[in-house]
Amino acid sequence: MIRIITDSSADLPKHLLEKYQITVVPLTITMGSENYAEGIDLTPKEFFTKMFHSDELPKTSQPSPALFAQSFNQFDHDDQLLCLTISSGLSGTYQSACLGKELSDKNVTVFDTLAGSLGHGLQIIRAAELAQQGATMEEIMKNLTEYRENMTILVLLDTLENIVKGGRLSKFQGSLAKILNIKVILERVEGGKVEIKEKVRGKKRFHNRTMELIQEQSSHFSNTVFGITHTGNEEEAEAIKQELIEKFQPKEVLINYMGATMGTYAGKGGMIISF
């Protein structure tokens, strides 16, 4: 049997983790002097409440190779294990999972999704569905590789506050962006990293440009699953979901809280759309 393992940065809703019996290995979130296992000691809602009231950015660290090995070793020798991780361009989790595979005596395949948040999560669901349908590991890997290469991920920054806190932008630049009401759209690029695509002035232009960028990707979305993650701006995410349904008639639109890994950079009002 093929079993699916992942790390906690995939931002999948709990009911889907349970439905597909997906094993989750938690990342560690450090806030001040406190450490939390993501999704176990701290919910996303609690995380954002703490982050928005802190002057310092939280830090996330990948699970240890030993923790991955421990997760792999709970399965039977007859099981084929597929571990899908957050992009190696964003975290050391993929490397840690590969080392965990070496420490384990189980049959493990580690797959770098080259994505974060639900871009990562949608690939897990694809793998789990294929496994349930009886696909072989080779067939799943081939399908996943194609899905990964064709995926679009847009990161929408409503504020640059966390970019300033993280030292990637000066306070002066951050203040100027706030005064000019500048919003930033980033996209996933080669190697699974994230780079600035466009800067837009004003909320309405920001929203309209996002929809235009989605429309530019395809003329047919009937087989497309969209994933939207947010940092507490649930009403806005729901409004975008409805607009996606009306404009593009996609197969499905999933919404969930963004986790700490991507949420630390997205900041207040941030959102990620993956499809």
Encode pLDDT of 29-70 as tens digits: 999 889 999 989 988 889 999 998 888 889 999 999 999 999
Q: Decide the pairing of beta strands 225-230 and 252-257.
A: parallel
Residues 6+ apart with CB under 8 A from 209: 185, 198, 200
What is d(CA 179, CA 163) in angstroms, rounded to the nearest whole number?
16
pLDDT band of residue 228 (cuts 50, 70, 90) is: very high
Q: Tell me the sheet residues that pair with 272.
A: 155, 229
* Candidate from 31-40, 42-51, 147-156, 179-188 with smallest mean pLDDT: 179-188
Instruction: Name the one residue in this structure whose structure tokens are 């064709």.
Output: 150
Q: Is 154 helix (H, G, I), strand (E, B) or coil?
A: strand
CA distances from 42 to 30, 31, 105, 176 (A): 11, 11, 32, 34
What is d(CA 205, CA 211) in angstroms, rounded to the nearest whole number?
10
Residues 6+ apart with CB under 8 A from 205: 183
Task: Using CB atoms within 10 Å of the CB of residue 256, give its burial: 0 to 12 exposed, 13 to 18 middle, 19+ buried.
Answer: buried
Could you tell me if 236 and 257 are in contact, meaning their C-beta atoms sit under 8 angstroms apart? no
Encode pLDDT of 59-109 as tens digits: 999 999 999 999 999 999 999 999 999 999 999 999 999 999 999 999 999
User: Whose CA is closest to 7, among 90, 78, 76?
Assistant: 90
* Candidate from 69-78, 168-177, 218-227 with smallest mean pLDDT: 168-177
What is d(CA 51, CA 166) in angstroms, rounded to the nearest whole number?
12
User: Whose CA is closest to 24, among 272, 259, 267, 263?
Assistant: 259
